[in-house]
Structure 1
Amino acid sequence: MNVTLELVPGVLVPRRETELLGRSAVALLHDGALDPVVIDMCCGSGNLALAIAAEIPAARVWAADLTDSTVALARSNAERLTLKDRVTIRQGDLFCALAGEGLAGAADMVVCNPPYISTARLDSESAHLLEAEPREAFDGGPYGISIHQRLIRDAVGFLKPGGWLLFEFGLGQDRQVAALIARAKTYEPVTFARDEAGAPRVALARKLRNGAAPSPSLAG
């Protein structure tokens, strides 16, 4: 997304497929609020938060991650790109990092590139990913969707009515993701952004605007 980032060992290297998440977010923000508030969970090097802030000059972005090294790198990137006045990076476990920041019910969008490889797969054919990058960036629990479950549940309290939750997921996880969002009963039916091969890789879920129950159908 035309943003140059510093990277260090021990922090996830941004992947090309995450541009699909970033560009989907930017497209919605261009059509939305004039001064949007955006939250980037699991921000890593700050790639999504900083790309969104660079593309949407009126956006105020809050980003969060768990580890010291990741948060330090994201803050360094924000300063180097002269975006630290609009991008605030906090440290903590998902939304706990933003406690006391006055963001409850205030966000126009939450974006997230969470870990989504199952623990068993990570310990077998995907073990090579751990040679230079941290396990917490990949390990999504027994089925690869543990963080997604928390994200879908907890984002509701930070989104405005009609606000958007966008997140990346692994190949073949779209049915699980759709079921999780439908089960939450706080979002409109999910839609998906697809990669160049046509596979769904990013979920776009809009928080209900009036408290009504969502339609039982699931968009693909």
Structure 2
Amino acid sequence: MLSDALHFSFRLPARASVRRTTSNPITEGAFVLQGDNHLDGRTEGRAPRLVRFMGVDLELAPDVLVPREETELLGRNAAAILTERAGPATVIDMCCGSGNLALGIAEEVPLARVWGADLTESTVALARRNVDRLSLGDRVIIRQGDLFAALAGEDLEGAIDMIVCNPPYISTSRLEGDSAHLLASEPREAFDGGPYGISIHQRLIREAVAFLKPGGWLLFEFGEGQDRQATALLARTKAYEAVTFAEDSAGKPRVALARRLGGAAATAAADGASR
């Protein structure tokens, strides 16, 4: 039972109040209440630790990232775009972790079918448990592998309406310096974004082109002050429209929203990314 678990809550806007336009992404804030020893994971004879994210209750584990406020911002903007477009949608949640984005989107958007992917076996196992917990196995599929390689053979190239991702975005040097405290209770791979904090973003932006339909959306989270890098990476592919950003409760850009171009330019970019 929920009352028997250590339970974190996000304070969310009412679903009916969520609105978004391309020029005005959703900025409603949310926050997580985290208790002591919040990543103890499963203990024999005790209920699993749970987090509430986008209105759904998810199990946590010691080696998986706890969802943050900025990821709720990402999920709400994704759900709003999909709701506005109406009709069925095929979505990828890359670096899915506990499955929080995949499951939150599936719960908010009943016509969405979501593919989640992550690198580590234990993370994928947790995400699958959460799929079972919410009885969403008919619409949420979790695969294991290195980014889009996890989805090889699923015939998803050129068929995706939206890709969402919360990749690692802290530089290796910061994790060994002023951000080292993060590693006390959560896994390094959830934070380490390489020398400049954008190693996964570089691959994500480039490889997503082959999977997105013309007009499909790429939404991803990034660290404070990385908006210029995100803009440059997206522009370099020549495959996306001008990026817009959703801001956190402090008014800082934290989520990028980029739409894939249509026509010959996007096709050429996709061909280049596959080489």
Name the TM tier (shorter chain).
Answer: over 0.9
TM-score by length of 2: 0.76
Q: Is the 8 A contact 1:33 1:108 kept in 2?
A: no
Give the Cα–Cα distance (whole angstroms) in 1 for the partners of residues 199 and 148 of structure 2.
15
CA deviations on 1:27-63 (whole Å, 9 max, x unpaired) are 1101125100000000000000000000011110000
**Cα RMSD between the aligned structures?**
0.9
Q: What is the number of residues matched between the two proteins?
A: 213
TM-score by length of 1: 0.95
Aligned to 2:56: 3
Q: Is the 8 A contact 2:70 2:255 kept in 1?
A: no
Aligned to 1:77: 130
Runs of 5+ unmatched residues, structure 1: 214-220
Instruction: Specify which of 195, 205, 210 is matched with residue 157 of structure 1.
Output: 210
- Where 1:17 maps in the other structure, the secondary structure is helix
Give the Cα–Cα distance (whole angstroms) in 2 for the partners of residues 105 and 68 of structure 1.
27
Matches within 5 A, 1:46-195: 46-195=99-248
Q: Is the 8 A contact 2:166 2:222 kept in 1?
A: yes
Runs of 5+ unmatched residues, structure 2: 1-53, 267-275
Amino acid in the other structure paired with 1:109: M
Q: Is the 8 A contact 2:121 2:144 kept in 1?
A: yes
Aligned to 1:202: 255
Amino acid in the other structure paired with 1:85: D
Deviates more, 1:8-17 or 1:160-169: 8-17
Over 4 Å off, 4+ runs: none
1:71 Cα deviation after fit: 0.1
Give the Cα–Cα distance (whole angstroms) in 2 for the partners of residues 33 and 96 of structure 1.
29
CA deviations on 1:148-198 (whole Å, 9 max, x unpaired) are 000000000000000000000000000010011011100001110111111
- Where 1:31 maps in the other structure, the secondary structure is helix
Amino acid in the other structure paired with 1:31: E
Seq. identity, %? 75
Q: Is the 8 A contact 2:216 2:260 kept in 1?
A: yes
Amino acid in the other structure paired with 1:186: A
1:211 Cα deviation after fit: 3.0
Computing the radius of gyration over CA atoms, which structure comes out larger, 1 or 2? 2
Aligned to 1:13: 66
